[in-house]
Every structure is written in C-alpha cells, then in structure tokens.
Chain A
C-alpha cells in the first residue's frame, strides 16, 4: 500500500512539474539574461546586467502591443555546457524569445549554436571574441557592446604609438584570450612593434607568479594582459607586488572594465590606457541612466557590458513591436533595419554579420588627485568612429556577408 502511494505520488509529482513548464510562447514576450552570477565576470556583468534588462523592460512600459514582457535569469558559471543546457531549456521549454548578455566566449558560442538551431535570438554584450560575427555568425545572433578587434584598435594602437614597441602577452587560455592576443598582435606588428613571446594561463586563475616572472624575464617593454575581469585584476595586483612596473616594464590591460578599475583603486590603475564602449560620465543621457542604475545597484555605476544590455534589450523590444511578432528571424530582420539611437549608441547600426557598429572611446584612468569623487575614473582621450573601431566587412569570414 505504501509502495503504491509512493509510486503514485512520484508519478504525480513528475507530471505536475512537467505541466508547469509546458507553456505557449504566444501571448507574451520573454527575455532571458544568461550571465556569470558567481564567478570571474560577475562584477562586470552579473546582477547589474539583470538590473539593466529590468530597467529596459520597465522603460518600454512592460508591455508590447498589449502583451506582457517577462524576464528570466540564470547563472551559466562561465561554462559552455551549463550555458547550452539552460539556453536549450529556455528556448524549447520556457518560451524564451531572446537571450541577452552572455559574457564568456565559450558560453556565448555554445548558446549561439543552440539559438541558430532553434531560430531564436541571442544578444551578446559581454563576450568579446570576433568569431561571433565571423565564422560563428548567425542570422539571429547579435554582438553589441565591443569586441577584441575594437580593443586592439583602441588600446593596442595607442600603446604602440606612445613608444611601447616590444610586447609579451599574458593570455587567458581559452578562445577569448587567444582571439584578443591575435588581434592585438596584428595591430602591434602593423605599427612596427615586435612580439617577444607569450604565456597562457588557465581560466580562471588566482596565482600569476610564474607567468609574471616569465613576462619579466622576456625584457619586453609592454606586458599585454589578454584576459579580463578578476584575472586582469589579480595579474595587475601581483605584478605590482613583484615590482614589475617599478622595474620599468609597463602593463597594458587589453580589456579593462570600469568595475575592474574600481576594484583596483586609482592608486594602482592610474595612467592605464583602455578602450571602452561606454562611460557613464559622457553626457546628460549617460549620466541620467547611470544615476538610475546606481540607485538600484548600491551606488555602482554601470560597466559597458551592463549598459549594452539595456541598449540591446530595448532595441530588441522596439524591433519586436515594429514586426508585431516574437518570431526570431522576423525580429532579427527588423533589428537590422532599424537604427539604434539611445544614450549608449549614437546612430548605431547592425550589419549583416550581426555586429552592432557604434563609436568606441579611448580613455585613460585618472590619477587620484584628478578624480573628483567616487566613480570619476576616466579621461576620454579620443572617440574612435564605429567604422574604424570594428572589423570591416571586407575582412569578415561570416557566410551571411555577401561579397
């Protein structure tokens, strides 16, 4: 008797949990934010990305042609298998129409494969690698905030031109790190610099001592950090402890976010040159958004990834409203058709390969004496026009680009 009851209740439980998930995608638009909520990149994307998406939905009115907009979020822990599992479940089973943010190239590429197969939208803000708009491009996939090409054009170029001719790379050992190193090397060589060597470190990594000693021994003027987030922070802090900067070598963070500068503190970060797609203190529009964002994030200003999530979600919703559907391909076509005009991107446009082209900024971290208050960190040195910042379509290996 007990056995029977047990089996019955088990079966009922299995069925009830199943039914709760089987819903129609019609009648609502659902956006998923898939990001790193616990690891290396949780500061620059993470909770802030979810808040940015929430703000975008609220600012849009919470409804699209009378249908409610829903938000769902999850932690992919920077792992490709977890990301693809969640993406599959969201697209197939939970009626998610678009997945946003997607920091970490390995996770982003995994989601891209699923999204392409299902004909659903993926909106990249956090992942950096250029393959997302080259051989991995998709008719429903978009790359929003920045990429490694733009980083190299900005930071790499500026550092070589200011006299940093010999380079050694400290590279995160996965697709993103390799890609960032390759893009930067190209710029260094094109400007007459030389590359003395490189070393790959595991991702994520806490102890950089042996890698930094190799970099020190190379005698290169510039140690290029082809990594991101907590890895960059750790490498910079440990390089200071080893006296590398005091010994005359310079560190070039090839991908530095404002949240990293905040963690490092201006004492350590001052003088660093970096490339960014967004800075909160540019004009009234960026300040207004960032102030509202900071109110919800205990005073933290948005990183470019988080601001990019707001922009991409808003643009997706606009396109879905204009196309009057949540069908992937149709919304994607509409997204390419409409220009992007918000505080994040002035006259942004989406190309055939899914790249959103907008202006980037070359900035330098202020010295503590120059900073007037919390989060007053950057001096913008130069605006890099979108067409210069991003890889020209003529170089693209994306099959969607007609040549």
Chain B
C-alpha cells in the first residue's frame, strides 16, 4: 500500500491521486476562514510530530517511546532563543531542530543496538532523563515553562504575530515536511528501510550496513519531531513540561496507530482526531481521557490498521496512494 505506483506518478493530467492531494491543499488554504486557526496549527504541529514518528515506526519498524524528548526539548531551545536571545523565528527554529538532531544522533546511536521492547525502553529511559533535565535546568523554568515567547518577524520581514500569517507559515512547514518524508520513503534509501523492517537478516545478507540506515532514519525522525516542537512553541508562545513528558511520547504513538501506521496521511489524520478530542471536549474535564480511551478501543476493534490504513485499499482501487 505504500510503494510508489510509477504508472500514476509519471502520467500527466488529473489522476485521482492528484485530485486528492490538491483537494487537501486547497482545504488547508481555505480552512482558517472557517475553523479556529490556532486549533488547526496545533493539529499541524502534531501531524508533523506524528509523521516524523511514523518514519521510524512505519518504515523501519522501530517503536520509539521517547520522541517527546526531541519534540519538547527543541521547543525549549527555540523558545529560549527567541525570548532570551531575541533571535528571529527561523534561526530559533533551526537551533531547535539542530538540538533535536544532535540529541537524536546520540540517543539513536545507543538505542539502535537493541530492538523490540528493549529499544522502546532505552528510548524511554533517555526521554525520562531529558524530562528531569527540563524539570531542573534553570532555563526551562520548571513547572511554569517558558512563557510569552515572541513570534517575531520571519526573516526580519514577515510579521508572524498575525494569526493568519502564522497559519500559512505553519501550513507551509507541514506541507514541505510531508513532501520531504514522501521523498525519503520513496527513495532507494526508503526501500532499504522497508527491507530492514520486513526482514533485517536478509538486508544484512545483501550487504547493507543496517545500523547506519537505522541511525540515519532515527536522526531524521528526531530532527522532524524537533521541527514540530519548535514550531509549536512559537504558535503557542510557550514551551512547557507537557511536551517533554512521556505522555507526549505515548500520545504520538496513539495518533500514529489511530491514523494508520506506514501511510503518508495516516499520522496527520490521527493527530487531528486526537487534538480535536482534546480541544472540543476540554469542557467536560476528566472525562476527556475516558472518551479518548473509548475511541481508541473502538478504532482498534473496527479499523485495525488505522483510519487511513483501512481506507487505503479502497482508495488504491481508484488509483490513489494513501
């Protein structure tokens, strides 16, 4: 379901695939006039986070339980850079992404030596370490977080304090990142990743240095998760412990599974579903987690491979790659 269909990719004109992609793009462009833009931006940030996570779970088969450290820590770095050092948003975001990349390379280098549950536990352990760093380090301001982060002017020119401008910036970041991920997954590199996922010993026997591929995928995933966190800290003008907490690591697993592992649009759909539940049901207090759990149970019973994962075969019959 995930392999590229060259016949469609190369044929010109309006294929159903293109109609779907352009339809979604157009929907994204007009959405802020109907739906609350901050809600959409939150959805985009988590969609990017889930998509980054999906690169690892869906295409390499590695279940990381520590992605919150990349998401949350880059948010802190970006917020600190923008607020305390007065840097422009693009530099602050780049710093955040760089932090996540380094963090990803180091923790990944240690974690990929194990697989399965051990890999998940190793990543969780690193993530908890970073969580306590965030609790104790003075620059994160503990339980209060970094508040009142200025959105600033993009490239010193475009004022991001305007909600609509910020919206289109976040939308552009998401679209570019999804394109980038699509490119990675459908490249020879992506094919090797899938080979490792499906049969690691065979990939090794074919002469691939599996560890290097895994590490690169882990680092790319960390960098994109960091990008999501950095952008989120500018959208909400806040970086807090919530984003480094293991709940965030768990939430991204939930989003990816709900939407559909190993699909391009699945994580985004899952992210929007979870964010919408949290947002629109926040008035009813502690019942939110119960509703979230019930929806998860229903999804597992009805759509075992996620919402998009179930739709994918139907779409594929019409020549659409989900």
Contact = CB atoms under 8 A, between A and B. Distances in A.
Contacts of B285: 37-38, 74-75
B316 to A, nearest CB: 12
Contact of B148 (A14, A81, A113): A113
Given A14-B34, A92-B38, A202-B135, A86 B145 contact: no
Contacts of B279: 85, 89
B42 interface: yes
B42 A109 contact: no
A272 B127 CA distance: 42
Interface string A33-49: 00001100000000000
Contacts of A174: 142-144
Contact of A113 (B16, B42, B147, B282): B147
- The number of chain B residues touching the other chain, given as a range, is 35 or more
B236 A84 contact: yes
Interface string A107-119: 0011001000000
A52 B38 CA distance: 30
B135 to A, nearest CB: 7
A113 B237 contact: yes
Interface in A74-122: 74-75, 79-82, 84-86, 88-89, 92-93, 105-106, 109-110, 113
B31 interface: yes
A85 B284 CA distance: 16
Nearest to A175: B144
Contacts of B34: 14-15, 17-19
B109 to A, nearest CB: 30
Nearest to A116: B148
B145 A81 contact: yes
Contacts of B148: 113
B240 A79 contact: yes
A38 B284 CA distance: 10
Interface in A194-214: 202-203
A166 B34 CA distance: 61
Contacts of A14: 27, 31, 34-35
B318 interface: yes
A346 interface: no
A203 B143 contact: yes
A173 interface: yes
B238 A110 contact: yes
A173 B286 contact: no
B5 interface: no
A175 B23 CA distance: 47
Interface string A9-25: 01100110111010000
Interface in B103-149: 135, 141-145, 147-148
B189 interface: no
A395 interface: no
B283 interface: yes
Contacts of B314: 2
B142 A3 contact: no
Contacts of A82: 242, 282
A17 B243 CA distance: 27
A81 B243 CA distance: 9
B180 interface: no
A79 B236 CA distance: 13
Contact of B147 (A3, A10, A85, A109): A109
Given A3-B318, A81-B243, A203-B143, A89 B31 contact: no
Contacts of A113: 147-148, 237
A73 B283 contact: yes
A81 B236 contact: yes
Contacts of B16: 3
Nearest to B23: A7
Given A81-B242, A81-B243, A93 B144 contact: no
B251 to A, nearest CB: 13
Contacts of A21: 36
Given A80-B147, A80-B238, A113-B237, A173 B142 contact: yes
B25 interface: no
Contacts of A84: 147, 236-238
B36 A89 contact: yes
Nearest to A37: B285
Give the residue among A19, A81, A88, A93 with the most B Cβ atoms within 10 A.
A81
Contacts of B27: 7, 10-11, 14
A92 B167 CA distance: 15
7 contacts: A2-B314, A14-B35, A15-B35, A89-B279, A92-B163, A113-B148, A174-B143
Q: Which 6 pairs, one residue from A and one from B, show the smallest C-beta to C-beta distance?
A: A174-B143, A18-B34, A38-B286, A37-B285, A75-B285, A18-B35
